[in-house]
Amino acid sequence: MARGYAHDKTPGHLLGHGPAHRSHERRVIPTGRAGLRLRFYPGVREDVRSMLKGFARWLRTEIRFRHPVHVTVVPHATVLGDGVGSAGWAVFLIPPPDYHRGDVVRIVLGGGKVAVLESEYGLSTPNSLLRLAHDLAHEVVHYEQWRDGRPITERGVNRRAAALVRRFRRTTLRSRPPRSGTRG
């Protein structure tokens, strides 16, 4: 992590959670068709995988993904977009102006955030998982801004992301019986 550099604007609360994952991947990845897809790096917890798969399945019914959108979930708590900028819990990598059909729209999500929220901040596992779902929803809202040709800003993004997570919780999680063994 570029902790000592003058250009590093990483918020202080993110600095203590290990080095950020740097997302260096090819811009064009053959995909086949539009839609939301998840990819998990080794080391991502099983409960994180399970919840994000369910949330992604639900998101596909709520949001029109007209482009191939790949979400890479890493075991790190924080991520950097293409190695530039400051670290965060998640990042939407804005496609370049010369975007072509078939280019992948990428989101990188720090799956290790759940462990940090549990150990450092005392949140329960279900609450930590929902905060991670909020991070994914936040980046998907940025995708919607880009898809619709709107400026990519933070205005209204957290509100829409929170509304998506609330609807997911209400329609999906409430219909399932509670799992035993989770902290509540």
Where exactly are the structural domains of the chain? 14-173
pLDDT at residue 173 is higher than 90: no
How close are the terminal C-alpha atoms of the chain, in Å?
A: 34
Give the integer Cα–Cα distance in Å for 129 and 125: 6
The answer to whether 70 and 26 are in contact (CB under 8 A) is: no
pLDDT cut 90: percent of the chain above it: 61
Mean pLDDT of the chain, nearest integer: 82
Give the integer Cα–Cα distance in Å for 12 and 14: 5
Give the integer Cα–Cα distance in Å for 76 and 19: 8
Give the integer Cα–Cα distance in Å for 78 and 10: 10
Highest-scoring range by mean pLDDT, 9-13, 47-51, 179-183? 47-51
pLDDT grade, residue 96 (50/70/90)? confident
Give CA 1 to chain center in angstroms.
20
More confident residue, 54 or 1: 54
More confident residue, 123 or 11: 123
Q: List the structure tokens of 11.
A: 């918020």
More confident residue, 6 or 160: 160
The answer to whether 136 and 121 are in contact (CB under 8 A) is: no
More confident residue, 182 or 152: 152
* Averaged pLDDT, 72-97: 85
From residue 137, alpha-carbon distances to 17, 71, 82, 160 in Å are: 22, 11, 20, 8
Using only C-alpha atoms, the chain has a radius of gyration, in whole angstroms, of 16
pTM of the full structure? 0.80
pLDDT at residue 181 is higher than 70: no
Fold type of domain 14-173:
Collagenase (Catalytic Domain) (3.40.390)
